[in-house]
Amino acid sequence: MDKKALSTLIKAQALGLGFDLAGIAELGPAETAPAFEVWLAHGYAGEMSYLPRGAEKRRDTRLPYPGATSAVVVALNYGGKSPSGPIARYARGDDYHDVMWAKLDSLHRWIEVQLGQSVSGKAYVDTGPILERDLARKAGLGWFGKNTNLINPEIGSFFFIGSLLLDLDLAPDTPFEADRCGTCTRCLDACPTQALVAPRELDATRCISYITIESRGAVPEELRESLGALVYGCDICQDVCPWNVSFARELTEPALAPRAEMESPSLVDLMRMSPERWREFSRGSAVKRAKRFGFLRNVAVALGNRQSPDAVPALAGALVDEEPLVREHAEWALGKIQSR
């Protein structure tokens, strides 16, 4: 089988496994590596110390998995049509890492069966030292939007990106070259914390997703009110994007179906969450990354912003929580409610 025919079959199989987009890229130097290093130099990575550590491998997509020459790059829609809420859409179902890995591993095994031989390779989903948007654009899946997300003209930007790096000679797709954002600045205008300091330039330390997920310290006081009722992640810059308004899709992957307590949670009930209840709540979910103390910190800020007297008993109980960060933010929230 020639590489073009094999490449076509692989992409068709990827779609058959439930992925919404599939393309192939040749591995090599990452075009956006210089911009990434400038971004790091500006301090925009904040506490994400793993990003500078992996900078060398991110410069060249051949380095994360030695011997690999091609990448099958896929996208999986996570339901941009779903209503917004305190927890970002991507984190409401089962952990997307597990869902994507299972599909990519299945694709890897299928390729080996078709070729009748073992094929060296590895699946990556938001965990390896790879500039994934760079690889996805190279595989023809979309362009970098002004909100820094990869946007596809057919499905918008509410999707996960995954890559299967292979020691296999495949026919690469044509990179996506067009910039279809035009003069639109809706994402920049809508960001509550002004984290988008310029088109395609994100100061992660001001981003609500970073603050509620990656940061392990106190939420900066000057940004707390801007978080509104968001407790894990943020979809605002995607919600306002015209490409999502027109082309976001309903969720089709059952494993990503939102759990009831994630889709429309009671913030007061969440504030009362014990360590045992947290383990049950976060099991098999992406929200586990925030850890209990970070998640309840966020919930306290959200309750303070709502200024509802109904939250007082739960926040008062949090004043004796085992975690200092939870106690600090519960005290702030009570002050906000009292000021009302």
Band (pLDDT 50/70/90 cuts) for residue 311 is very high
CA distances from 91 to 17, 79, 157 (A): 21, 11, 15
| CATH topology agreement for domains 3-166 and 266-340 | no
pLDDT of residue 170: 98
* Phi/psi-derived region of residue 84, left when phi > 0, alpha when psi is between -120 and 50, beta in every other case: beta
Residue 50 above 90 pLDDT? yes
pLDDT of residue 15: 98
Distance CA 250, CA 256 (A): 11
Residue 69 above 90 pLDDT? yes
pLDDT of residue 284: 98
Distance CA 41, CA 287 (A): 29
Identify the CA nearest to 273 among candidates 260, 264, 284, 282: 282
126 catalytic residue (yes or no): yes
- Retrieve residue 39's tokens: 């971004």
* Residue corresponding to tokens 């007297």: 309
Distance CA 92, CA 85 (A): 10
Give the domain ranges of the chain.
3-166, 266-340
Mean pLDDT of 50-72: 95
| CATH superfamily for domain 266-340 | Leucine-rich Repeat Variant (1.25.10.10)
- Retrieve residue 182's tokens: 């035009």
Let me know: does 59 contact 101? Beta carbons within 8 Å: no
Instruction: Give percent of the chain above pLDDT 90.
Output: 98
Identify the CA nearest to 302 among candidates 197, 190, 195, 224: 224
Q: Which residues pair with 259 in a beta bridge?
A: none
- Retrieve residue 273's tokens: 């969450």
CB proximity list for 269: less than 8 A, separation 6 or greater: 314
pLDDT of residue 240: 98
pLDDT of residue 313: 98
Distance CA 110, CA 248 (A): 30
Band (pLDDT 50/70/90 cuts) for residue 181 is very high
Band (pLDDT 50/70/90 cuts) for residue 55 is confident
* Residue corresponding to tokens 């088109």: 199
Burial per residue of 268-305, b for 16 or more beta-carbon CB atoms within 10 angstroms, e otherwise? bebbebeeeebeebbeebbbbebbbbbbbbbbbbbbbb
Instruction: Give percent of the chain above pLDDT 70.
Output: 100
3-class SS at 271? Answer: helix
Distance CA 44, CA 206 (A): 9
pLDDT of residue 106: 98
Mean pLDDT of 174-202: 98
**3-166 topology per CATH:** NADH Oxidase (3.40.109)
Distance CA 175, CA 135 (A): 9
3-class SS at 25? Answer: strand
Residue 259 above 90 pLDDT? yes
- DSSP state letter for 127: S
Compute the mean pLDDT over every residue in the chain, rounded to the nearest whole number. Answer: 97
Mean pLDDT of 95-115: 98
Mean pLDDT of 84-94: 98
Catalytic residue among 105, 126, 167, 239: 126
Distance CA 218, CA 233 (A): 16
- Retrieve residue 116's tokens: 């009748």
Residue 340 above 90 pLDDT? no
CA distances from 291 to 8, 47, 281, 325 (A): 42, 15, 11, 12
